[in-house]
Amino acid sequence: MSSSFTDSLCGASPSTNDAFNTNPTSTAAGPTSQKPTVHTAVAIAQQMKLRQDKKLQSEAGLTSDFLNFTSSPKTVLMAFFLIIIYLVSGTVIFYTWIEEWSAVDAIYFTICTFTTIGFGDIYPQTMGQRIFAIFFVVFGIMIIGGVVLGILTDALFNLVKNGKKKAVNDFMDKFEDGTDSIDEAKVITSLSKLLTIAVVVAMLFGPAFIIGHLEGWKFYQSLYFAVVASSTVGYGDLSPQNTNTRIIACFYLPLCVTIMAGLFAKTTSIFMDKKAAKAEAGFLERKLTREDIANMDIEGDGKVDSEEFLVFMLCALGKVSADDIEKIYKSFNSLDEDKSGELDLTDIADTICEESQDKGEEVV
Helices (H), the chain: 3-10, 14-19, 38-54, 73-97, 103-114, 127-139, 149-174, 181-215, 219-230, 243-284, 290-296, 306-316, 322-335, 345-358
Q: Could you tell me if residue 232 is inside a domain?
A: yes
- Gap between the Cα atoms of 234 and 250, Å rounded: 15
69 neighbors 208 (Cβ within 8 angstroms): no
Most confident residue range from 97-106, 145-154, 175-184, 312-321: 97-106
Residue 322: its pLDDT value, please?
A: 86
Q: Could you tell me if residue 242 is inside a domain?
A: yes
Dihedral (CA of 159, 56, 331, 26) sign: negative
Half-sphere exposure of 91 (CA within 13 A, CB side): 14
- For the stretch 216-245, pLDDT in tens is 999 999 999 999 999 999 999 999 999 999
Q: What is the mean pLDDT of the chain?
A: 76
120 neighbors 234 (Cβ within 8 angstroms): yes
> Given its phi and psi angles, is residue 51 left (phi above 0), alpha (psi -120 to 50 degrees) or beta?
alpha
Residue 287: its pLDDT value, please?
A: 85
* 16 has a pLDDT exceeding 70: no
**Where is pLDDT greater, at 27 or 165?**
165
Q: Could you tell me if residue 4 is inside a domain?
A: no
Q: Could you tell me if residue 183 is inside a domain?
A: yes
Q: Could you tell me if residue 22 is inside a domain?
A: no
Residue 65: its pLDDT value, please?
A: 55
206 neighbors 237 (Cβ within 8 angstroms): no
Residue 119: its pLDDT value, please?
A: 94
Whole-model pTM over 0.75:
no
Q: Could you tell me if residue 279 is inside a domain?
A: no
117 neighbors 235 (Cβ within 8 angstroms): no
Q: Could you tell me if residue 40 is inside a domain?
A: no
Residue 23: its pLDDT value, please?
A: 42
Q: Residue-wise over 150-184: b if at least 16 C-beta within 10 A, else e?
A: bbbbbbbbeebeeebeebbeebbeeeeeeeeeeee
Residue 64: its pLDDT value, please?
A: 57
Domain range for 123: 71-272
Residue 303 CA: distances (Å) to CA of 40, 297, 306, 308: 19, 6, 10, 9
Q: Could you tell me if residue 216 is inside a domain?
A: yes
Q: Count how many domains the chain has.
A: 1
Q: Residue-wise over 78-107: b if at least 16 C-beta within 10 A, else e?
A: ebeebbeebbeebbeebbeebeebeebbbb
> Given its phi and psi angles, is residue 2 left (phi above 0), alpha (psi -120 to 50 degrees) or beta?
beta
**Where is pLDDT greater, at 289 or 209?**
209
- Gap between the Cα atoms of 92 and 254, Å rounded: 19
- For the stretch 174-209, pLDDT in tens is 555 554 555 666 666 677 778 878 888 999 999 999
Q: Kindly state the greatest CA–CA separation across the chain.
A: 89
The 3-state secondary structure of 194-245 reads HHHHHHHHHHHHHHHHHHHHHHCCCHHHHHHHHHHHHCCCCCCCCCCCCHHH
Residue 258: its pLDDT value, please?
A: 85
Q: Assign residue 171 the CATH number of its domain.
A: 1.10.287.70
Residue 236: its pLDDT value, please?
A: 93
